Chain A
Amino acid sequence: VSALNELRQLKGAKQEATDNKAAYLFLLPWLIGLVVITIGPMIASLYLSFTDYSLLAPPEWIGIKNYQRMMSDPRLLNSVRVTLTYVLVSTPLQLGLALLIAVVLNRGMKGLPFYRSVFYLPSLMGSSVAIALLWRQIFGTDGLVNQVLRGLGWSNPPGWIADPSTALYTIILLHVWTFGSPMIIFLAGLRQIPDMYYEAASVDGASKWTQFWHITMPLLSPIIFFNLVLQIIGAFQSFTQAFIVSGGNGGPSDSTMFYTLYLYQRGFANLEMGYAAAMAWLLVLIVAAFTFVNFLLSKYWVFYDD
């Protein structure tokens, strides 16, 4: 089902008679893209991370100074903390909710297409500027949420987006709101679990709860794992929502200064391209570390059934 499983299988694959000429022709656009748009720039970015480069003068080699500077840049360290909070809070919530709703919807539910559509729609719109603008209103000091809260008798609710202690959580909520796409993947995965497992368990007197933990969870675990890996990688790269909700500055008091937002500011507002490249490579390392740990931990909870 997943790209990760594909990667596992590649180990030990064998080659037979070849069709090189035709194959490379078909692959030509992809190969050019790989070299010019992906791998070339990655190498260039690694080089630039050891330079001082402002676009106006040629890059100047400064060794590991960018990396040293990062380690003592309080705004950068803060942006790492903000981004980690965002990733570690929103991803489990989003996937947990997706799983919960998928399990509730799965078992021969009436009205499934309706519910599925309603829950899925926000995930198509969630990354748009329009929804981020809406969020600014809803969680503004006099926005929809506070109107409702005042109506309920809370005379002085916080100004969610204006308050540094809550601003990040409005963006986390926006991310959780888009649980529809992992939900769809879980629904497809749940369909693959043969009904007879549940029937046999029922005959043996297993409760729904036991069935969930002993049948659904193990059999769905590869799909949960796959989603976890990709959602974490994606969450680290979130940008638009923080940019729009904070009005482009990561405020109030840097409380929504996502790593990507700080990288954008350094690179494209201050033209510190060398520093931005070093930041990008630190991001790659962080994301790679998370993915690696995910793979390490997976052997304790992910179950492959064949």
Chain B
Amino acid sequence: MTEIANQPAEPQVAITTPIESAARPTHRPKRTYNPVTSVIKHVVLIAASLLMIYPLLWMLVSSFRPTDEIFRDTGLIPANATLDNYTYGWTALDQPFGFYLLNSAIVVVGCILGNVVSCSLAAYAFARLKFTGRTIMFAIMLLTIMIPYHVVLVPQYILFQNFGWVNTFLPLIVPKMLATDSFFVFLMVQFIRGLPKELDEAARIDGCGHFSTFLRIILPLMVPAIATTTIFTFIWMWNDFLSSLIYLIDPKMYTVPLALRAFLDSTGQSNWGAMFAMSVVSLIPVFLAFLFGQRFLIRGIATTGIK
């Protein structure tokens, strides 16, 4: 490809600490810009941004419109703004929509607690402890990131059915308590490796065992990695559809995605206004997580390279 690329490629890459590098401010020397190309660039980027978020903005505005208007008005200014869609949508299913929000919240909180505790324990062992079988176990941990979920879907269902866990939140939460989301283990391992080892050694000299070193030294310093894990778990589980679809059959156990799907089935194409309104309600928590957690999200994906 180039002179650079033609050098023999060594199958080795230095362990960088991407968290530091991703967060490192860039001190680039100022370049001279052609103001015309700069303006063109911004115009194109702004047009692209608008195109990207137009569907979201339009859904938000349309949720305040009567349904027949949704199918006529392509603009962003509502002619007859109304809250009817929200009041109707909130009570259109068996339970008020808040009920499904609460179900989703229970699942999400359980999964966050599970992931944070189990993944940080495993990450500490991989990052700081020497033990027999470490290399192979670490390799297995990394490989499990790449295994398609569907290959365990059927046997897991049979297993959880035998436990009597169908129509409970346990099939969604318990796997997280067992650190099956390997990418969070990997993310935390990367983070712990970036912390100075002298801290552990000082704690050891002061008489701390591994557990108190972990609890008192490492865990408090891991807050950014825990925040990233929390926000990603929150968004993924809030949006989770497939596992909920399989395990939560009883409408009383529906999470928000299942409630929205029930909306589609029950009102069909007839009440888009109410469906949009509840869709907006379901996206508000995701948007808030994005708004307040963006820093951690961006750091997290820059570190592990996982969406």
Residues of chain A whose beta carbon lies under 8 Å from any beta carbon of chain B: 1-3, 5-10, 13, 15-20, 22-24, 26-30, 32-34, 36-38, 40-42, 44-45, 48, 55, 101, 104-105, 107-111, 114-125, 127-131, 133-134, 136-138, 140, 142-144, 147-148, 151, 177-178, 181-182, 184-185, 187-188, 191-192, 195, 199, 213-215, 217-219, 221-223, 226-227, 229-230, 233-234, 236-237, 239-240, 243-244, 247, 260, 263-264, 267-268, 273, 276-277, 280-281, 283-284, 287, 291, 299, 301-306
In contact, B13 and A267 (Cβ under 8 angstroms): no
Contact check, B55 vs A121: say whether CB atoms are below 8 A apart: no
What CA separation (Å) do A26 and B146 show in the bound complex? 23
**Is A9 a contact partner of B15 (Cβ separation < 8 A)?**
yes
* A-contacting 9-mer, from B87-95, B105-113, B299-307: B299-307
Looking at B52, B53, B272, which has the most chain A CB atoms within 10 Å of its CB? B52
Residues of chain A within 8 A (CB-CB) of B71 are 142-143, 147
Contact of A111 among B26, B42, B59, B263 (CB under 8 A): B42
A contact residues around B172 at 8 Å (CB):
none
Name the contact of B1 in the complex, choosing from A8, A148, A199, A303 (C-beta under 8 A): A303
Contact between chains at B148 and A302 (CB < 8 Å)? no
* Given known A3-B304, A44-B155, contact A37–B175 (CB-CB < 8 A): yes
Name A303's contact: one of B4, B238, B260 (CB within 8 Å): B4
Extra pairs beyond A7-B142, A108-B30, A130-B282 (10, CB < 8 Å): A19-B210, A42-B155, A107-B31, A115-B49, A130-B280, A133-B276, A137-B272, A213-B1, A280-B150, A303-B9
- List the A side residues contacting B294 at CB < 8 Å: 117, 120
Are B286 and A125 neighbours in the complex by a CB distance under 8 Å?
A: yes
User: Is the pair A37, B129 in contact by a Cβ cutoff of 8 Å?
Assistant: no
A45 touches B151 (CB 8 A): yes
> In the bound complex, do residue B124 and residue A188 qualify as a contact, i.e. CB atoms below 8 Å apart?
no
> What are the 10 A-B residue pairs with the smallest beta carbon separation, nearest first?
A33-B178, A188-B302, A23-B131, A130-B279, A41-B155, A181-B307, A44-B155, A26-B125, A30-B122, A41-B152
Given contacts A26-B210, A283-B150, A284-B148, whether A277 and B5 have CB atoms under 8 Å apart is no
Chain B residue at minimum C-beta to C-beta distance from A35: B178
Interface locus among B78-86, B132-140, B220-228: B132-140
Within 8 A of A (CB), among B247-305: 256-257, 260-261, 263-264, 269, 272, 275-276, 279-280, 282-283, 286-287, 289-290, 294, 297-298, 301-305
Please tell me if the beta carbons of B4 and A108 are within 8 angstroms of each other in the complex.
no
CB–CB A29/B282 < 8 A? no
Instruction: State which of A23, A226, A291 has its C-beta within 8 Å of the C-beta of B134.
Output: A23
| B119: nearest chain-A partner, CB-CB | A30
Return the chain A residue nearest B255 by Cβ: A129
**Cβ–Cβ contact A273 & B305, under 8 A:** no
Question: Cβ of B305 and Cβ of A26 under 8 Å apart?
Answer: no
Residues of A within 8 A of B117 (CB): 29
Docked complex Cα distance between A289 and B287 (Å): 37
Contact B139 A230, beta carbon cutoff 8 Å: no
Give complex CA distance A26, B263 in Å. 44
Chain B interface size band reads 35 or more
Supposing A280-B151, A299-B9, A305-B4 touch, asked if A233 and B146 sit within 8 A by C-beta, the answer is yes
* Neighbouring B residues of A239 by C-beta, 8 Å: 241-242
Known: A188-B22, A192-B21. A226 touches B130 (CB 8 A): no
Within 8 Å by CB of A3, from B29, B74, B236, B305, lies: B305
Question: How many angstroms between the C-alpha atoms of A133 and B147 in the bound complex?
Answer: 29
Q: Are A240 and B242 in contact (CB under 8 A)?
A: yes
Q: Which listed residue (A28, A45, A188, A240) contacts B241, Cβ 8 A? A: A240
Can you report 14 A-B residue pairs in the complex whose CB atoms are below 8 A from each other?
A8-B12, A19-B210, A22-B210, A24-B125, A38-B147, A41-B154, A44-B155, A133-B264, A185-B305, A218-B1, A240-B239, A287-B146, A303-B9, A306-B12
Q: Could you tell me if A125 and B2 are in contact, using CB atoms closer than 8 angstroms?
A: no
B157 to chain A, nearest CB (A): 8
Shortest B43–chain A CB gap in Å is: 12
**Which chain B residues (169-205) contact chain A, with CB distance < 8 Å?**
175, 177-180, 183, 185-186
Contacting residue for A19 out of B70, B131, B135, CB 8 A: B131
Using A20-B131, A301-B1 as known contacts, say yes or no to A182 and B307 having CB atoms under 8 A apart: yes
B129 pairs with A280, CB closer than 8 A: no
Q: A41-B155, A42-B147, A218-B1 are in contact. Are A306 and B13 (CB under 8 A)?
A: yes
- B158 is an interface residue with CB less than 8 A from chain A: yes
> What is the chain A residue whose CB lies nearest that of B26?
A191
Rounded to whole Å, the gap between the CB of A288 and the closest CB of chain B is 9
Tell me, rounded to whole Å, the shortest Cβ–Cβ distance linking B291 to chain A.
9
Given known A30-B141, A137-B70, contact A41–B156 (CB-CB < 8 A): yes
- Docked Cα-Cα span, A268 to B209, in Å, equals 49
CB distance from A247 to the nearest CB of B (A): 7
A229 to B2, CA, bound (A): 23
CA distance A260 to B151 in the complex (A): 10
- Find chain B residues with CB under 8 A from A115 CB: 45, 49
B219 contacts the other chain (CB 8 A): no
Instruction: Decide: B144 and A222 in contact? CB cutoff 8 A.
Output: no
